[in-house]
Amino acid sequence: MREFAAAHRAAFVALGGAAAALALFWLTRSNRVLMNAWVDRVSMPVKRLLGAVTNPLPFSVCEAGATLLIVGALVYLGRSVWMAAHGRPDALGAWVLHLAVLVLWGYFGVCALWGTQYYADSFAQKAGMEVPGVQVEQLAAVTRYFGQQVAACADTVPRDENNCFAVSREEIFGQTAGLYDPLTERWSFLDGPERKAKPAFYSKLMSAWGFTGYLCPLTGESTLNVDCPEVFLPVTIAHEFAHQRGVAAEQEANFVGIMASITSGREAYVYSGWLYGYLHLSNALYRVDPEAAAACSAMLPEGARADFTANNAYWASWEGPVQEVGESVYTAFLESYGQTLGMQSYGACVDLLVEEFLPCTGWTE
């Protein structure tokens, strides 16, 4: 063991450095002032610089980098097995050590560039939104309002022979420039450089794991699943752009993505945003008042029903242990940053939607 440690001293030093860096993050993450300063002066500028470098490329650098790392690790493993079989028993140990160094430093990079944002000021705090408790009657009123908006714009988008949303992915990706301009007029802290959304090469793998998109903090890119039905692609792009602009919590990114979509003036995005908001609201309403949820559903036009049916059928086809593992892993990831709702936090944008749109319903006590 002593000889192994001496031969790989640099790797052990790097491993200890990664552990110390992670410990520093865990010890300081509860300091809101420090986290705000880090996010404003370090992590956001670094992510924007990385995004500026990767943005011109037509492919996801995150996907390409992950592919190269996995292939490289497997090649290194094969070499280590061959060396161990030919008189170098320490070769496998060296592979494990170097892999641990790579994983720990990679995880620290994610914590430094992304995890810190969970402990800085939230979107709701910056926007001055109180997110009060929601009464069932208020939830029902806003759900009806969203249903009315869906009905009003469902026929503004092209539809196929099955009456489903039929805007091409190319058109959706081509309409992202200036998407956040209306929101930044209201919430200037959402301002930021324009970035492209990138289609994922491994979209089917993302579907198997239950993902529609992700932001890679190590490259500053938004990568989107382009295998699933297109109806929620516009609002998902807007959601990932919210992450790029500093909105960390998933429930807040959902709210911001919906707001960006419905205020964009682009028909595909407007419809996608209202429909996605309705989905979250109606799901929440169904849990507390199934009859009211059914009444709201009855007011939806046939096109919206067809979109929900197609989307549900697609995701049902991927149900299984792989998706369950994917959801469990991501839930654990969110909970490691204090997001105690885990994957359910995607539905917590309901409170923000109710606060924002309740006045539009004419609801009174």
Q: Percentage of the chain surpassing pLDDT 70?
A: 91
Extents of the domains making up the chain = 2-119, 124-361
Q: In terms of pLDDT, which residue wins out, 55 or 332?
A: 55
Tell me the pLDDT of the chain averaged across its residues: 91
The answer to whether 152 touches 234, Cβ cutoff 8 Å, is no
Is 60 exceeded by the pLDDT of residue 322? no
pLDDT tens digits, 101-112 = 999 999 999 999
What are the Cα distances from residue 55, in Å, to 42, 176, 202? 20, 13, 19
What are the Cα distances from residue 144, in Å, to 251, 284, 303? 21, 13, 17
pLDDT tens digits, 192-201 = 999 999 999 9
The answer to whether 156 touches 270, Cβ cutoff 8 Å, is yes
In 3D space, the residue among 110, 122, 107 whose CA is nearest the CA of residue 248 turns out to be 122
**Cα Rg of the chain, angstroms:** 23
186-195: average pLDDT:
95
For residue 343, what pLDDT band results from cuts at 50, 70 and 90?
very low
**Confidence (pLDDT) at 365:** 63
**Confidence (pLDDT) at 324:** 58
pLDDT tens digits, 98-148 = 999 999 999 999 999 999 999 999 999 999 997 667 888 999 999 999 999
In 3D space, the residue among 297, 335, 318, 316 whose CA is nearest the CA of residue 118 turns out to be 335
Is 70 exceeded by the pLDDT of residue 342? no
The answer to whether 80 touches 89, Cβ cutoff 8 Å, is no
Q: Dig out the tokens for 50 from the structure.
A: 């990385």
pLDDT tens digits, 274-285 = 999 999 999 999
Calpha distance 22→142 (Å, rounded): 43
Calpha distance 223→231 (Å, rounded): 17
pLDDT tens digits, 38-83 = 999 999 999 999 999 999 999 999 999 999 999 999 999 999 999 9
Q: Dig out the tokens for 329 from the structure.
A: 């892993």
Q: Alpha helices of 29-116 — where are they, by DSSP H?
A: 32-38, 44-54, 61-84, 91-113
The answer to whether 257 touches 269, Cβ cutoff 8 Å, is no
Q: Percentage of the chain surpassing pLDDT 90?
A: 81
Most confident among 81-95, 257-271, 307-321, 333-347 (mean pLDDT): 257-271
268-279: average pLDDT:
97
Pairing of strands 197-199, 221-224: parallel
For residue 335, what pLDDT band results from cuts at 50, 70 and 90?
low
Beta bridge partners of 222: 197, 215
The answer to whether 188 touches 128, Cβ cutoff 8 Å, is no
Q: What is the DSSP string of 262-318?
A: HTS--HHHHHHHHHHHHHHHHHHHHHH-HHHHHHHHHTS-HHHHHHHHHHHHHHHTT
